[in-house]
Structure 1
Amino acid sequence: MDLLFALEDSGAGMLVSSTQWGYAIVLSLHAVGMAIMVGISLMLIFRVLGFGQKVPLGSLADYWKVALLGFLVNIASGTMLFLGSASELFFNWAFRIKIALVLIGVVLTWRLVSYCYKPAARSDTVYVDASDRRLAVAALLVWLAALIAGRLIGYLN
């Protein structure tokens, strides 16, 4: 507990928990990072599921670098948000579940992205098999569950 209280008393922890605009700005950055990461992931997921079939699957791989930028924003802002309430969040099950689901979502989406880097995915007519669709459905469900768990953090103490 001493470590958690020390994290809350750090400069970043105090910025988030004790300043007028700190929490709002960091939370806004977290929302923007999430929109970028999850939004690009969902574009890829829905393309694999059959939407937008005129878009070559391989062309979506280039957006992964932008998604990773959003993920880095989320890591930085999420860390600051954690520092602002470390003694509460550390014991919050919704928070722990959210972190696990986000990591799983990144791994599943990366598996879809790695498929997009194959030369066949750059053509206009690429075949997506049933295992790719199952992977996309799993990634979609994990991202939705992560978003729900994130919303539940404030309600489950």
Structure 2
Amino acid sequence: MPLQDAASVAASLPLARALREHAWLYPAIETLHILGFAVLVGAVAMFDLRVLGFGRQLPVRALARHLLPWSAGSMLLVLPTGLLLFVADPLALLVNRIFLLKLGLILAAGLNALAFHAGPYRQADAWPARAPPRAVLHALLSLGLWIAVIACGRLLAYF
């Protein structure tokens, strides 16, 4: 089934209609999405800032053990609410360049995190006082990507 056909089917679902027709349902779902996203990006940003050298008294791995459950748990809120927001108007979103850019940036942020954890993070216990340049690069890229995702999310309201 082509993507446009699947989007048309999704838009006609009773849940999609309810999201469009009930005054408080879409804003409530959007609020939950933003709350989950705040926890996700907040946890990621705190970790990235540690890799960049802030809070050096906190061991990198100890901070990761604390923040990873928060970021993973927030995905349990962000993903379903994001899908619900998408289902409300999938046809418009699939042709919206800002939305497509947001998805691409999220993918890039995820790939960056995977590369970080498969690469420099594996040696985090052996890092000297400062993280190695490759880890710093991943942290800077992560912060930039998530800031861009936030910007795209806000711009969706205007385009």
Give me the TM-score of the superposition, normalised by structure 1.
0.87
TM-superposed deviation, 1:31: 0.4
Equivalent position of 2:135 in the other structure: 132
CA RMSD, aligned part only? Answer: 2.1
- State the aligned residue count: 154
Counterpart of 1:143?
146
Corresponding letter in the other structure for 2:18: L
Please point out which of 48, 52, 57 is paired with 1:54: 57
Distance 2:22 2:7 in 1: 19
Query: Do structure 1's residue 9 and structure 2's residue 6 form an aligned pair?
Result: no
Match of 1:94, SS state, is helix
- 1:87 maps onto 2:55 in alignment: no
Gaps (5+ residues) in structure 2? Answer: none
User: Is the deviation greater in 63-72 or in 28-37?
Assistant: 63-72
Once residues 83 and 135 of structure 2 are traced to their aligned partners in structure 1, the CA distance between those partners, rounded to angstroms, is 33
- Give the equivalent residue in structure 2 for 1:120: 125
SS of the aligned residue for 2:55 comes to: coil
Aligned letter for 2:16? G
Structure 1: gaps (5+ residues): none
How big is the shift at 1:140?
Answer: 0.9
SS in structure 1 of the partner of residue 18 of structure 2:
helix
Q: 1:40 to 1:27 in 2, by over 3 A?
A: same
